[in-house]
């Protein structure tokens, strides 16, 4: 119940301070998005708590951009991906696609939108049905939507296979005949079949080898240029995220802690968590081993079942003060286009810091 109150509090605060831009450029708008998974116990399935997987997210995705979402396991990034593609229904808050509220649309209501919003999954082994041919898999969206592409499904599927760098002759083969990288290409072809506007990719390359990972990253890049796609790419690998994203959202325990463009995030992160996260990534350069300054965080990420009070990061933060334990910091734009939720931000302009710590 406590979590629920937190959310109310949050939802009231955010729109007032940081109006989400409902301008023409926003393809997807998310406001105060909440997803709690109930934990039940006993024969009567009494609810004893909730996993607060996503707890009040407000951001938008602009047409044509790539929004990267990073965070460690349990931060709710995958749940967020499933919420904005409406594979899950939010517990609270609002998701709007092209201005239309899709938060609680049913299966039938979502069907026309499935054309516009597609998802690519992490594991290319389990996300493709082993008993279907590549042709059936990639052609499935046409059948499900009842669409007959010009020139027939087969021709269209072969065009898609070529688009993602596979041979059209692979049409009649089965997924097990392909390597991991090729399977991921099949998944991408399937996602692109209906010419979507928004593609949400959940860890699209983390199951792949380094050399294959680069091929898929480049492919996603090319497809975006060619088809004018908008991406939300969810990943735990900060190097991949830096390479692919225009803007980046950092999540911690169901909350957005920082949201800004790529350059600002990597050159002057404001949230201590972001800073620690960046410093923890091993740099592939042995010469810099001695020089670099690393912030070692204490312990592990706390449980999303009973997240810490106030700022959820305060239990591991070296800058935490009393205010962090009691007051949840709102997500504020301390610089144009650089939002951060912290009472004691790093690299922040003087005025902004004073403003937040005073409040």
Partner 1 sequence: MTTAPAPGPGDAPTAFLEVRDLRIHFPTDDGLVKSVDGLSFQLEKGRTLGIVGESGSGKSVTSLGIMGLHTVGQYGRRRARISGEIWLDGKELMSADPDEVRRLRGREMAMIFQDPLSAMHPYFTIGHQITEAYLVHHSDAGKKAARKRAVELLDRVGIPQPDRRVDDYPHQFSGGMRQRAMIAMALVNNPELLIADEPTTALDVTVQAQILDLIRDLQKEFGSAVIVITHDLGVVAELADDILVMYGGRCVERGPAEKVFSEPRHPYTWGLLGSMPRIDREQTDRLIPVKGSPPSLINIPSGCAFNPRCPYADVPAGGITRTERPELRLVTGGDGAAGGGRHWSACHMAEEERTRIWTEEIAPKL
Binder of partner 1 out of 238, 249, 270, 311 (CB under 8 A): 238
179 binds partner 1 (CB under 8 A): yes
Closest separation in Å from C-beta 72 to partner 1: 4
Stretch that binds partner 1, among 40-48, 118-126, 259-267, 326-334 (CB under 8 A): 259-267
Please report whether residue 350 would count as binding partner 1 according to CB under 8 A: no
* Cβ at position 262, least distance to partner 1 in Å: 8
Alpha-helix residue ranges (DSSP H) falling in 86-152: 107-114, 134-145
Q: Could you say which residues in the range 297-326 bind partner 1, by CB under 8 A? A: 297, 299-301
Q: Which of 280, 321, 325, 337 binds partner 1 (CB under 8 A)?
A: 280
* Under rule CB under 8 A, residue 162 binds partner 1: no
Contact stretch for partner 1 (CB under 8 A) within 58-66, 119-127, 146-154, 260-268: 260-268
Classify residue 308 by its DSSP letter: P
The reply to whether 209 sits near partner 1 by the rule CB under 8 A is yes
Under the binding rule (CB under 8 A), the answer on residue 147 touching partner 1 is no
Instruction: Give the E-state strand segments of 18-91 in sequence order.
Output: 26-41, 46-62, 66-70
Residue 38: CB atoms within 10 A of its CB come to 12
Structure token digits, residue 294: 């690393």
The number of residues that bind partner 1 (CB under 8 A) is: 46
x-or-dash string of contact with partner 1, 217-236, rule CB under 8 A: xx--x--------------x
Residue 27 token pair: 């393809």
Q: How far apart are alpha carbons 142 and 279 in whole angstroms?
A: 46
Please, what sign has the CA dihedral across residues 343, 344, 347, 352?
positive
User: By the 8 A CB rule, do 191 and 212 touch?
Assistant: no
Is residue 73 within the footprint of partner 1 (CB under 8 A)? yes
Interaction of residue 293 with partner 1, rule CB under 8 A: no
Nearest CA-CA partner of 312 in 48, 72, 111: 72
CB atoms within 10 A of CB 254: 29
Q: Which two tokens stand for residue 277?
A: 């996260």
Indicate the pairing of strand 247-252 with strand 66-70. parallel
Candidate residues 131, 287, 336, 351; the one interacting with partner 1 per rule CB under 8 A:
287
Applying CB under 8 A, the residues found at the interface with partner 1 are 72-73, 179, 181-182, 209-215, 217-218, 221, 236-240, 242-244, 262-263, 266, 276-289, 294, 296-297, 299-301
């Amino acid at each position: 119940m406590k979590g629920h109150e937190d959310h109310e509090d949050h939802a009231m605060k955010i729109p007032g301070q940081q109006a989400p831009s409902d301008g023409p450029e926003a393809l997807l708008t998310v406001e105060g998005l909440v997803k709690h998974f109930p934990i039940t116990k006993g024969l009567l399935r009494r609810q004893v708590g909730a996993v607060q997987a996503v707890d009040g997210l407000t951001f938008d995705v602009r047409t044509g951009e790539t929004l990267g979402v990073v965070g460690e396991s349990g931060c709710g990034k995958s749940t967020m991906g499933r919420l904005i593609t409406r594979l899950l229904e939010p517990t609270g808050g609002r998701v709007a696609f092209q201005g239309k509220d899709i938060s609680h649309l049913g299966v039938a209501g979502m069907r026309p939108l499935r054309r516009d919003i597609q998802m690519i999954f992490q594991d290319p082994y389990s996300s493709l049905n082993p008993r279907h041919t590549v042709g059936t898999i990639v052609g499935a969206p046409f059948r499900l939507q009842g669409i007959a592409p010009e020139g027939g499904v087969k021709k269209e599927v072969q065009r898609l296979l070529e688009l993602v760098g596979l041979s059209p002759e692979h049409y009649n083969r089965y997924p097990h005949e392909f390597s991991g990288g090729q399977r991921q290409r099949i998944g991408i072809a399937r996602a692109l079949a209906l010419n979507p506007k928004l593609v949400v990719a959940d860890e699209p390359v983390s199951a792949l080898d380094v050399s294959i990972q680069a091929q898929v990253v480049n492919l996603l890049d090319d497809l975006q240029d060619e088809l004018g796609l908008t991406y939300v790419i969810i990943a735990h690998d900060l190097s991949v995220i830096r390479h692919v994203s225009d803007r980046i959202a950092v999540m911690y325990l169901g909350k957005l802690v920082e949201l800004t463009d790529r350059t600002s995030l990597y050159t002057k992160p404001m949230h201590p968590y972001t800073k620690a996260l960046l410093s923890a990534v091993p740099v592939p350069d042995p010469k810099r081993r001695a020089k670099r300054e690393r912030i070692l965080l204490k312990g592990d990420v706390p449980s999303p079942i009973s997240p810490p009070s106030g700022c959820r990061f305060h239990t591991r933060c070296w800058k935490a003060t009393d205010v962090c334990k009691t007051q949840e910091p709102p997500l504020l734009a301390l610089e144009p286009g650089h939002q951060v939720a912290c009472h004691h931000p790093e690299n922040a302009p003087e005025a902004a810091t004073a403003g937040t710590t005073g409040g």
